[in-house]
Structures are given as structure tokens and as C-alpha cells.
Amino acid sequence: MANTLSAKKRNRQNVAARARNRRRRERVKQAIRSFDEAIKQHDTEGASRHLKDVYKQLDQVAAKGMIHKKAADRRKARLAGMLSRAGK
């Protein structure tokens, strides 16, 4: 249990940041799930629309520092590869 005022404030900030990060992480997961679902149903047009949303979500979490920019780029490249393989 925090004793000082600054430690109590820091705890409040951590709770708020954790909630924000959970929402962001869940949005990324949901975007990837919808992309995967479109790929499984062989809907390449829908998958390309979902891929744009995944790109946006990954770029946002990378900009906020939740994941490294190169990690986001790597995930985007792998998803784009999945789409190109599905289109063949």
C-alpha cells in the first residue's frame, strides 16, 4: 500500500494506463481476428479492408510505445503475406 501522496497518485495513473493499454491491445486483437476470419472464408476483398484497419491499430499502438515500431512492421508484413498467399 502506498504511503506518500505521490505514490498514491502514481498508483492511480498506473490503473488508468493499464486500462488504456488493455483497450488498445483488445482493439488490435479484434482487428486481427476479423482479418483472419475473412482469410478463412476466402474473402480477399474483405480481408484487404480489414488489413487496413489492422495497419492503423498496429501503427497507433506502436506510436504510443505499447509495442516497438519494428515489431508492428513485422506483424504487418506477416499479415500482408497471408493476404497475398490467400489471393493465389
Pick the CATH number of 5-86 from 3.40.50.10420, 3.30.70.120, 1.10.3210.10, 1.20.58.110: 1.20.58.110
Q: What is the pLDDT of residue 17?
A: 96
Q: What is the pLDDT of residue 74?
A: 98
Domain locations along the chain: 5-86
Q: What is the pLDDT of residue 73?
A: 98
C-alpha cell, 15: 490503473
Angle at the Cα of 47 from the Cα atoms of 41 and 50, rounded to 5 degrees: 130
Tell me the C-alpha distance between 44 and 58, whole Å.
Answer: 20
Flag whether the pTM goes above 0.75.
yes
Q: What is the pLDDT along the chain (88 residues), one digit of tens a residue?
A: 889 999 999 999 999 999 999 999 999 999 999 999 999 999 999 999 999 999 999 999 999 999 999 999 999 999 999 999 987 7
Tell me the C-alpha distance between 39 and 47, whole Å.
Answer: 6
Q: What is the pLDDT of residue 68?
A: 97
Contact 62, 71 (CB under 8 A): yes
Return the number of other C-beta atoms located less than 10 Å from residue 35's C-beta. Answer: 22
Return the number of other C-beta atoms located less than 10 Å from residue 9's C-beta. Answer: 11
Tell me the C-alpha distance between 66 and 64, whole Å.
Answer: 6
Q: What is the pLDDT of residue 1?
A: 80
